[in-house]
Amino acid sequence: MRILMINYEFPPIGGGGGNVTYYISKHLAQVGHEIHVITSGFRDLPKYQKMDGFHVHRVPVIRKNPNVCGVHEMLTYVISASFYCLRFTREFKPDVIHVFFGIPSGPVAYILKKIYGFPYVVFLGGRDVPRPHPDPPFYRWMYGVLSPAIKSIWGNAKAVVACSDDLRDMALKTCENSRINVIPDGVDLSRFHPETKDDNPEKIRILAIGRLIPRKGFHLLIQSLPEVMKLTSRDFCVEIVGDGPMKTELLKLTKKLGLEDKVIFAGSVPYEKLDEKYRQAHIFVLSSLAEGMPLVVLEAMASGLPVVASRVQGIQQLVKEGVNGYLFSLGDYMSLGRKLTKAIDNNQRLGNMGMESTRIVKKYDWANIAEQYYNKYQQNE
- In the chain the domains, ranked by start, together with CATH numbers, are 2-186+366-378 (3.40.50.2000), 203-364 (3.40.50.2000)
pLDDT, tens digit, 9 for 90 and up, residues 178-229: 789 999 999 999 999 998 777 678 899 999 999 998 989 999 999 999 999 9
Q: How far apart are CA 83 and CA 115, in angstroms?
A: 12
Is a pLDDT exceeding 70 seen at residue 140? no
Q: How far apart are CA 60 and CA 48, in angstroms?
A: 12
End-to-end CA distance of the chain: 17
On whether the CB atoms of residues 259 and 271 are closer than 8 A, the answer is: no
Q: How far apart are CA 85 and CA 15, in angstroms?
A: 23
Angle at 110 between CA 55 and CA 45, to 5 degrees: 30
On whether the CB atoms of residues 331 and 289 are closer than 8 A, the answer is: yes
Report H helices in 51-138. Answer: 71-92, 106-116
At residue 131 the predicted structure's pLDDT band, cuts being 50, 70 and 90, is confident
pLDDT at 59: 98
Sheet holding 307-310, edge to edge: 263-267, 235-241, 203-209, 283-286, 307-310, 325-328
Residue 180: which residues within 8 A CB-CB, separation 6 or more?
124, 154, 160, 161, 162, 168, 171, 172
Mean pLDDT, the chain, whole residue set = 92
pLDDT, tens digit, 9 for 90 and up, residues 245-300: 999 999 999 999 999 999 999 999 988 899 999 999 999 999 999 888 889 999 99
Q: Is the pTM of this model over 0.75?
A: yes
Per-state percent for the chain, helix, strand, coil, to nearest 5? 45, 20, 35
pLDDT, tens digit, 9 for 90 and up, residues 299-327: 999 999 999 999 998 898 899 999 999 99
202 by Cβ neighbours in 10 Å (0-12 / 13-18 / 19+) ranks as exposed
